């Protein structure tokens, strides 16, 4: 099999695409789309978001040290894209994207009601890396929408139809093709899907 060799670049795709919510010291709220977000640690629970310093929300993140991470869905695709291409300097993205705010329990930044999962975060450290600054944050609270609980009361994110981002395109996640540990399970069930 032939493969091309490219110059170094970011090819770790697809990525979760999230809506990050912030509130400035002046009380003004903003929401921005971030595809460079991820889990960092389980115990204590931590995550990170990477934001370009020239983005309007970068200053707000630095000012307050708090933000919400709001998972996205097929129904939120338009809002997700809009909040990534418009600046909060120029427009109220909550109003323009018809997103409804909800209060956090541990942070002052708003959360997005339409999101199936909201994660409240407090910045622990900021790493200046080059084109982006990485905001390393402690998770302070998680909100899970009860509409996505299955018959066993287990949260089932697939019911919300989450989306991912890859090279300028959004994709809905499809069918489940396995579960953690299925490749080594030896309980008599058929291996595979």
Q: Each residue of 19-29: pLDDT tens digit?
A: 999 999 999 99
For residue 5, being part of any structural domain is answered with no
The tens digit of pLDDT for each residue in 140-173 reads 999 999 999 999 999 999 999 999 999 999 999 9
For residue 167, being part of any structural domain is answered with yes
In this prediction, residue 186 has a pLDDT band, given cuts at 50, 70 and 90, of confident
Domain total in the chain:
1
Q: Which domain holds residue 72?
A: 15-172
Please report the pLDDT score of residue 37 as a whole number.
96
Mean pLDDT of 66-71: 98
For residue 137, being part of any structural domain is answered with yes
The CA-based dihedral angle spanning residues 101, 103, 109, 111, taken in that order and rounded to the nearest 10 degrees: -50
Please report the pLDDT score of residue 188 as a whole number.
52
SS3 68: strand
- Structure-block tokens of residue 162: 């989450």
Q: For residue 161, what is the domain's CATH number?
A: 2.30.110.10
The tens digit of pLDDT for each residue in 84-128 reads 999 999 999 999 999 999 999 999 999 999 999 999 999 999 999
- The continuous run of DSSP H or E covering 93 comes out as helix 93-96
Average pLDDT taken over every residue of the chain:
94
For residue 164, being part of any structural domain is answered with yes
Exposure of 28 in the CB half-sphere (CA atoms within 13 A): 13
| pLDDT surpasses 90 at 187 | no
| pLDDT surpasses 80 at 193 | no
For residue 193, being part of any structural domain is answered with no
The tens digit of pLDDT for each residue in 9-60 reads 888 899 999 999 999 999 999 999 999 999 999 999 999 999 999 999 999 9
- Structure-block tokens of residue 108: 């002052």
For residue 4, being part of any structural domain is answered with no
For residue 185, being part of any structural domain is answered with no
Please report the pLDDT score of residue 166 as a whole number.
95
């Amino acid at each position: 099999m032939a493969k091309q060799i490219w110059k170094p670049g970011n090819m770790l795709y697809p990525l979760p695409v999230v809506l990050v919510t912030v509130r400035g010291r002046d009380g003004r709220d903003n929401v921005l789309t971030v595809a460079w977000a991820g889990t960092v640690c389980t115990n204590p629970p931590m995550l990170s978001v990477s934001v370009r310093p020239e983005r309007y929300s970068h200053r707000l993140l630095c000012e307050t040290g708090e933000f919400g991470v709001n998972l996205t869905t097929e129904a939120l695709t338009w809002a997700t894209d809009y909040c990534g291409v418009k600046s909060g300097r120029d427009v109220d993205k909550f109003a323009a994207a018809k997103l409804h705010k909800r209060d956090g329990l541990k942070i002052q930044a708003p959360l997005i009601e339409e999101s199936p999962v909201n994660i409240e975060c407090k910045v622990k450290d900021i790493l200046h890396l080059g084109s982006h600054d990485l905001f390393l944050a402690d998770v302070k609270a998680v909100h899970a929408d009860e509409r996505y609980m299955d018959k066993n009361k287990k949260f089932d994110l697939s019911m919300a139809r989450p989306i991912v981002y890859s090279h300028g395109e959004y994709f809905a996640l499809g069918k489940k093709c396995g579960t953690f540990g299925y490749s080594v399970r030896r309980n008599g069930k058929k291996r595979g899907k």
